[in-house]
A and B are shown apart, each in its own frame.
Chain A
């Protein structure tokens, strides 16, 4: 069996799984799985850039995804009236000042000779800078958060079309990735892992607590959409007529149609990114990356700048995750910082990449769809299994109740098991790298 036949069969299999879900459960569920599968596939592509191409172990994916979500709010929401006058300039000024303090400290650190004077001046610059920053920042934030806290209380966004948020999410994630890469790359792999784990927790903490930026845990709801609203469709006579002609009632047809529009948009992004990743993999640049991954010392001896290349691909991969994050927040229509959990947004993506096949773009896309389908379907399948297991037990027996209630936690168990089994028996994944 040739590779392309096998790959086609894999994708046909996943498509079949989603279609069966459509028949057995509902088409809304099937399209929900498809949409999130598309987003997951993009995230997996981003992680595959870092891990599959370059061997960088990033466990901070959640942070970059969340930054993409934040970008959606900053780009697409209308600016809060009066917030910029109240404290916008001071907040921006304070942030610039804070950044300038760090830059000044770094310059002092590199330009001065190692001495007591250097340590003293670096420390002094940081302390003075911190207090000036807080002095400017705190009152301004207070003013902004006072503006109608129940509805806004934040700066708002630029009021631009929401589709612009997708590239913006990529840029924001890339900028943060550059900062992290600059400090943490060049250390060994485990340290990069811990550093990225930490930075993703910090990004989430910032998004939860800085209410002036994105309303924190009060959430931003009602983001603009690139698709029409279901309610509008349901009152549109032409749409109802067409839906009835196809044998759907208006409500079902409108929800399906909106999901299909999203699916179309996401597919376009996925195809563009996939083609780019594929071209990159087979270009001289991609070969160089894999050479660095397989033997850093040999590549370095051939004159390749390993750290710079690592930084480059780390930024690129994170940008792809940022784009996916922005797309996901657009699909949800709201930004809820409280829902970002590392198991769901970091480690699950890792399972996708490894199951699909590290180093293979097609594999990552496949893994994205397959694992996402499994993640959603484990719960209904688990409850069927548990009903079967507890069939013989009396109703109200504590073990029966406990087993039935705990079905929701079978997800993590299943994912761990899948990851371990693939790593052990098929470490190169479903579609191995050539």
Chain B
């Protein structure tokens, strides 16, 4: 019995908790991609770098606060700085929309042209972020490091396996839940949210019923900016902030959005967790857990790792391909036009 508890604790420590917090970050990123796709109807390749930009603004404000001696008690100061980061990112996306995307929208350009335009925006944002904060690793988390540390957990339960629950993981999960609830409340209960969903379902009908498209687009960009900043900051807090990492995040984020069904917010969340759990579980070395569960003589002498961690991209990619081949609209029927 104790062995099973130990196995479960090891499983939570190395698989469940990291996968849940990573899944939450991916889900927030994928929500942004899916909203843009639903309303503006193109895949926004600049989303990863929008996340980087938001996180960067938050980091700069965090440093300012830290130099003023403002802190948030046991929580990271970055949470206080996040609203300012969101505002800056909102300004940025409204600027790019006004001076870049709007032109092509009015021309009714093909979606693939908009994708190429977003590549240009991606270049610029990437250069801008590196120009302002440099290409290096930035650490900006402060406050308590752990909610429960390995030693405390062992002392508390007397188990052989320890469990560490980082503050950043806790914050990630709580923030993601709050943000998702707020977003769904907005989309389903408010007038603006309903007009957004109507516009996403059928543009012509929405226009006929007097919905102002420019307003819908603007609100979408504002929400996307907030989501991207939160996702970027949480990822930066949990791992670390490196400008180029956000380009690599693009693949799992897109995979999450497509697996869930592009254009479907619920699907983005399901997709985020699907990708995160598969990535962590397939690249985790199961030896530790297996040793507790199976009888001693069966204990594995290899790592019992299906794929090395370097291939985590391959996992999201394979899932993406399987879904595209067998269910092109995604788990929660999105658009497949």
Using a CB–CB cutoff of 8 Å, the interface residues on chain A facing chain B are 55, 57, 59, 130, 183-184, 187-191, 193-195, 197-199, 201-202, 205, 208-209, 341-343, 347, 350-351, 354, 405-406, 409-417, 419-420, 423-424
Contact of B336 among A59, A188, A342, A419 (CB under 8 A): A188
**Which residues of the other chain, A, contact B42 by a CB distance below 8 angstroms?**
190
Q: In the complex the two chains form, is A197's CB within 8 Å of B100's CB?
A: no
Query: What's the Cα separation between A41 and B212 when bound, in Å?
Result: 46
Q: Provide the bound-state CA to CA distance between A205 and B309, in Å.
A: 10
With A190-B115, A350-B119, A420-B124 as known contacts, state yes or no: A197 contacts B251, CB within 8 Å. yes
* Known contacts A202-B313, A416-B123; is-contact A197 B336 (Cβ 8 Å): no
Among B112, B119, B244, B313, which residue has its beta carbon within 8 angstroms of that of A198? Answer: B313
- Chain A residues with CB under 8 Å of B134's CB are 405-406
Please give, as numbers and ranges, the residues of chain A lying within 8 Å of B320 by CB-CB distance: 194-195, 198
Cβ–Cβ < 8 Å partners of A209 in chain B: 308, 310-311
User: B120, A202: Cβ atoms under 8 Å?
Assistant: no
Contacts A343-B247, A347-B123 given; indicate if A191 touches B258 (C-beta within 8 A). yes
A420 near B100 with CB under 8 A, answer yes
Give the CA-CA distance A208 to B311 in the complex, in Å.
10
Q: Which of B24-32, B51-59, B285-293, B321-329 contacts A (4 or more CB under 8 A)?
A: B321-329
CA distance A388 to B41 in the complex (A): 43
With a cutoff of 8 Å between Cβ atoms, the chain B residues found around residue A198 in the complex are 251, 255, 313, 316-317, 320
B321 touches A195 (CB 8 A): yes
B308 near A197: Cβ-Cβ < 8 Å? no
Chain A CB within 8 A of B19 CB: no
How far apart sit A411 and B124, CA to CA, in the bound complex (Å)?
9
**Chain A nearest Cβ from B44, distance in angstroms:** 10
Do the beta carbons of B127 and A412 come within 8 Å of each other? yes
- Give bound CA distance, A342 to B250, whole Å: 12
Chain B 88-106 against A: per-residue CB contact (8 Å), 1 yes, 0 no?
Answer: 0000000000001001000
- CA gap between A231 and B126 in the complex, in Å: 41
Q: Which residues of A have CB within 8 Å of B115?
A: 57, 189-190, 193
The interface residues of chain A lying within 8 Å CB-to-CB of B22 are none
Q: How far is the CA of A412 from the CA of B129 in the complex (A)?
A: 10
Interface size, B (range): 35 or more
**Which 7 pairs show the lowest CB-CB distances between chains A and B?**
A416-B123, A412-B127, A413-B127, A416-B124, A198-B317, A409-B130, A419-B120
Residue of A nearest to B312 (CB): A205
Of the candidates A55, A57, A341, A417, which one forms a contact with B124 in the assembled complex, judged by CB atoms under 8 Å apart? A417
State A189–B111 Cα separation when bound (angstroms): 9
User: Chain B residues near A205 (CB, 8 Å)?
Assistant: 310-311, 313-314
A209-B313 Cα distance, complex, nearest whole Å: 13
| Inter-subunit contact B130/A350 (CB<8 Å) | no
Q: Is B43 an interface residue (CB 8 A)?
A: yes
Extra inter-chain contacts (14) besides given A190-B42, A194-B255, A198-B316, CB under 8 Å: A183-B324, A188-B337, A193-B115, A194-B254, A197-B250, A197-B254, A205-B311, A205-B313, A209-B308, A350-B119, A406-B132, A413-B128, A416-B121, A423-B116
Total contacts A-B at CB 8 Å: 127
A202 partner residues in chain B, CB cutoff 8 A: 311, 313-314, 317
Q: How far is the CA of A218 from the CA of B250 in the complex (A)?
A: 27
B131 is an interface residue with CB less than 8 A from chain A: yes
Assess A409 versus B135: contact at CB under 8 Å? Given A190-B42, A190-B112, A420-B100.
Answer: yes
> Measured between alpha carbons, how far is A202 from B316 in the docked complex, in Å?
10
Report if B248 contacts A (CB, 8 A): yes
**Minimal beta-carbon separation of B96 from chain A (angstroms):** 10
State the Cβ distance, A339 to closest chain B Cβ, in Å: 13
A347 touches B119 (CB 8 A): yes
Bitwise, B253-270 to A at CB < 8 A (1) or not (0) is 011001000000000000
Query: Which of A189, A191, A343, A405 contacts B123 (CB under 8 A)?
Result: A343
Min Cβ gap B244→A in Å is: 8
Contact of A423 among B120, B122, B124, B313 (CB under 8 A): B120
CB nearest neighbor in A for B251: A198
Task: Let me know if B117 is at the binding interface, CB within 8 A.
Answer: yes
Interface contact A193-B43, CB-CB below 8 Å: yes
Contact B123 A413 (CB under 8 A): yes
Q: Which residues of A contact B122 (CB under 8 A)?
A: 347, 416
Min CB gap A58→B, angstroms? 11
Q: How near does chain A come to B263, taking the closest CB pair, in angstroms?
A: 12
- Please name the residue on chain B nearest to A191 by beta carbon: B324
Q: Please name all residues of chain B whose beta carbon is closer than 8 Å to the beta carbon of A412 when the two chains form the complex.
A: 123-124, 126-127, 130
Max chain B Cβ within 10 angstroms of own Cβ: one of A188, A194, A197, A342: A194
Docked pose: A415 CA to B120 CA in angstroms: 8
A424 to B328, CA, bound (A): 33
In the complex, A199 Cα to B255 Cα: how many Å?
Answer: 12
| Complex interface: chain B residues within 8 A of A194 (CB) | 43, 251, 254-255, 258, 320
| Least CB separation from B132: chain A residue | A406
Which residue in chain A gives the minimum CB-CB distance to B335? A188
**A211: shortest Cβ distance to chain B, in Å?**
11
In the assembly, what is the distance between CA of A189 and CA of B121, in Å? 19
A431 to B287, CA, bound (A): 60
- Chain B positions within 8 Å of A417 at CB level: 120, 124
In the bound assembly, the distance between CA atoms of A55 and B111 in angstroms comes to: 12
The reply to whether A406 and B130 form a contact with Cβ atoms under 8 Å apart is yes
Q: Which of B206-241 contact A (CB under 8 A)?
A: none
Please list 27 pairs of residues, one from A and one from B, whose beta carbons are closer than 8 Å in the complex, sorted by A's number. A130-B306, A183-B321, A184-B321, A190-B42, A190-B112, A194-B251, A195-B324, A197-B251, A198-B316, A198-B320, A201-B248, A201-B313, A208-B310, A209-B308, A343-B123, A347-B119, A350-B116, A406-B134, A409-B135, A413-B123, A413-B127, A413-B131, A416-B120, A416-B121, A419-B123, A420-B117, A423-B113
